[in-house]
Amino acid sequence: MKPKVPSSNRTVSRRSFLTGAGAVAVGLPFLEGMPSRSAWAQDAAPVFTFFVVAQNGVVGKNFFPSSLGPISAQSLAGAGDVATAVLSPHAENLLFIKGIDYPNPGPRSCGHAEGNVQTLTGLAPGSEGNKAHSAGPSADTLISRALDGSDPIALYSGAKGFIAERISFKAGGPGQVRPADVNPYLLYSKVVGLAGASSMSAGMSAGMPAGPATAASQVAQEIANKRRSINDFVRGELKTLMGRPALSTADRQRLDQHFSAIRDIEVKMEEMATTTGAVCSAEGLPVDRYEAFRSGFAFRSAQMEEYVKLHLQITAVAFGCNYNRVATLQWGDGTDGTKYQVPSNRGLGWTFHQLSHRIQSDSASGNNPTAEAAHHEIDRLRMETLLVGLDAFKAHGLEQNTQLVWTNTIADGPSHSTRGVPMIVWGSGGDFLKQGVFLDARGAKNARILNTLMAAATQDAGATPPAIGAGTYDDMKA
């Protein structure tokens, strides 16, 4: 998985890149004879970041285990009727955090919209009400800017209603929301060719027009060629570079070590691909479900969890193929109208939003215990959906170089409070984050949490990581 770099770098320059056939660009180490650093740090593998943002809060007392500290598959499975017990197979790769506070403690007008715009910006809303906009760019945007300047992937599973996508922001101010794809087929159609024709499940290419199928085959062949060794594509420029009189003996040694290290990484990644069933592979995808949405898509709230699973699974493939390094998924619209068929809701028939309010209302709040029980059952159901996604990410061997971040726009439904918001992180983010631990943030602002995640995401960029204000949350760090 090579880092993405601009294809225009075709000569050795102060930007310190070599670019060979097929627009393969390789960053160089620091060379005394070339006074600028590479855009990619030596020996650093890319880190992938996926922000999954849910709505309507959780039933806090039944969401995480009762005890802080280390978590294991056994302890999590035996934690009782808590929603996150469902994730026990992935305990060793999980970081649970409770007690995260957003800038505004609660709603000023519309808690759902105002919570949405704070979740990934770490900033108080730029305006109030259901039209609330952000006060600055979101973390996914900041990460992408620090890496290669491309747009992050933006996904959405929800109705285009009262409060639609409100997670990914290009900048502060009205009109800065990044449009998100609702149809899972759209991302699938972009990355399926990258997974390689030989790894496609039976029937994956069936029904595809000749043009896209041919293009997919060409891309797959290009990737297969590149796997011989990236060094082969820049050999000519490397020979020219090594002959530059400005380079010292130490510079030449650095170059030799650098390109040897690249080959070592390639070999390890190839071994990992063989072991896991291929990092860049479409194996295991429910191809028929994606293809069913090829000719059109109409969101149906009853199929909410299916859509989310499809978004999660194809993002695992996108990361495994290095299609993009950053993605967001908003899980539900701000006032989610899904009527979940969980046991406690069969007699009520309320929407998820109403259940979160504990009363059959989209504005008032109550204390109906059956509604609370239904909300907890939905929390558990949604963790089962998240489990499908984590299984896909693990199947692609992404535990070490990914941080999949699940969080919510509010802490709980009745109060719409943004104090004590929960977060789940899967993956070590390039060995940057603790794993198998449950932490209490004790009111730490989410800007500090986001700063920590952004530092993990950009650690291979060889530059100061982006930040929202100052400070990280060091208790998260490995």
In sequence order, what DSSP letters do the residues of 398-416 get, joined into one string? -STTEEEEEEESSS-TTT-
pLDDT of 365 reads: 92
Helices 235-242 and 249-276: crossing angle, nearest 10°? 160
**CB neighbour burial string for 441-456, b if at least 16 within 10 angstroms, e if fewer:** beebbbbbbbbbbbbb
pLDDT of 38 reads: 31
pLDDT band, very low/low/confident/very high, at 477 (cuts 50, 70, 90): very high
pLDDT of 74 reads: 98
Residue 215 makes CB contacts below 8 A (sequence gap 6+) with: 193
* pTM to 2 decimal places: 0.78
Provide φ and ψ at 135, rounded to 5°.
-100, 0
**CB neighbour burial string for 341-366, b if at least 16 within 10 angstroms, e if fewer:** ebebbeebebbbbbbbbbbeeeeeee
pLDDT band, very low/low/confident/very high, at 236 (cuts 50, 70, 90): confident
User: How long a stretch of residues is the chain?
Assistant: 478
Contact 64, 96 (CB under 8 A): yes
pLDDT tens digit string along 56-101?
Answer: 999 999 999 999 999 999 999 999 999 999 999 999 999 999 999 9
Question: Rounded to whole angstroms, how far apart are CA atoms 102 and 105?
Answer: 6
pLDDT tens digit string along 374-402?
Answer: 999 999 999 999 999 999 999 999 999 99
Of residues 256 and 48, the one with the higher pLDDT is 48
> Domains, the chain, ranges and CATH?
1-40+205-298 (no CATH), 47-182+301-476 (3.40.720)
Report H helices in 86-138.
111-119
Q: Which two tokens stand for residue 175?
A: 């009109």
Is the pLDDT at 441 greater than 90, yes or no?
yes
Residue 45 makes CB contacts below 8 A (sequence gap 6+) with: 1, 265, 401, 430, 460
pLDDT band, very low/low/confident/very high, at 228 (cuts 50, 70, 90): low
Return the closest-CA partner of residue 451 out of 423, 422, 473: 473
- Residue carrying the six token digits 């294991």: 72
Looking only at the bridges linking them, the beta strands covering 48-54 and 326-331 are parallel
pLDDT of 470 reads: 86
pLDDT of 204 reads: 31
Is the pLDDT at 277 greater than 60, yes or no?
no
pLDDT band, very low/low/confident/very high, at 238 (cuts 50, 70, 90): confident
